Structure 1
Amino acid sequence: MPERVHERGPEREPEQEDAAGPGGERGGLLRAFGLAEVYNPSMVPTLQPGDQLVVQYGAVVRPGDVVVLRHPFRQDLLIVKRAVERRDGGWWVRGDNPYVENDSREFGTVPDELVVARAWARVRPPRGIQRSPRAALSWALSAVRPVRPDRSLSRRLRAR
């Protein structure tokens, strides 16, 4: 199953796969940030379908970062992957879900110009209606989390 991203923001995309996109106004600080919605399970357990990502366009990417990128074979499609390491020709990217192989194992390195944004935070939508203040507070405390780089991932993959 292909991955999909939908994005709203400075760069409008016709169709996207792993995540959904930037939301911001044109200009200043808001132009550099946006939202992306995750649609597929390639980043489970880190990200779940339905999660929203706060992304920064043009941010410096380091190994272990979660990034939004254009699919190398279908550039109208945006996907979310983890940047594992720099290689000749670009980034080697992988999903966190070992059962989904729509990543560099399938399409090779991704050129820098196809990396669109870096994920900073995950916002998990509420499941159902929060009927009590306690339930709403519990959701609010767990809904927003930084998307932390997995520095050990690149070391594990290089060791194989």
Structure 2
Amino acid sequence: MSYLPFGLRLVHVAGHSMEPTLCHGDLLVVRVGAPVRPNRIAVVQLPPDAQGRPRPLAVKRVTGRDPADPTRWWVERDNPRVGVDSWLVGSLHPTEVLAIAVMRLWPRPRRV
């Protein structure tokens, strides 16, 4: 993440898990500490992989609260064939939802 003023950051999308909404190389403006709401795109910290290795930060869609634990968030990928989401690793603690997307800057601006 690149830093901007007012809690804003720049994030490059890596990978194809959010296609067709976001593509590899898209540039997002995100706000750290923004309120989390369902159907928003977020930068999240997923749990370590099966070998205990930390995963890189990920861009996912917050789909809602975990029905089994409403204090946690459920996140999903838009491309069901690629990537990791709550269906594979479970829901996330609120501290693992790091920032909320405000807009996509490149290749052309649009709200996410």
TM-score, normalisation: structure 1? 0.62
Identity across aligned pairs (percent)? Answer: 41
RMSD: 1.4
Cα offset, 1:145, TM superposition: 0.7
Unaligned runs of 5+ residues in structure 1 are: 1-6, 9-22, 25-29, 126-142, 148-160
Unaligned runs of 5+ residues in structure 2 are: none
- Cα deviations across residues 26-49 of structure 1 (Å, max 9, x unaligned)? xxxx14101000011000000000
Cα offset, 1:98, TM superposition: 1.4
Q: Which has the higher contact order (CA 8 A, sep 6+)?
A: 2
Is 1:69 paired with 2:44?
A: yes
Aligned length: 105
SS of the residue aligned with 1:113?
Answer: helix
Is 1:85 paired with 2:60?
A: no
Equivalent residue, structure 2, for 1:38: 13
Aligned mates of 1:60, 1:100 — CA distance in 2:
27
Higher helix share: 1
Residue identity in the other structure for 2:7 = A
Cα offset, 1:101, TM superposition: 4.3
Equivalent residue, structure 1, for 2:109: 144
- Cα deviations across residues 90-147 of structure 1 (Å, max 9, x unaligned)? 111000011124100110001101110000101224xxxxxxxxxxxxxxxxx11111
Aligned mates of 1:61, 1:39 — CA distance in 2:
22
Higher strand share: 2
Is 1:57 paired with 2:38?
A: no
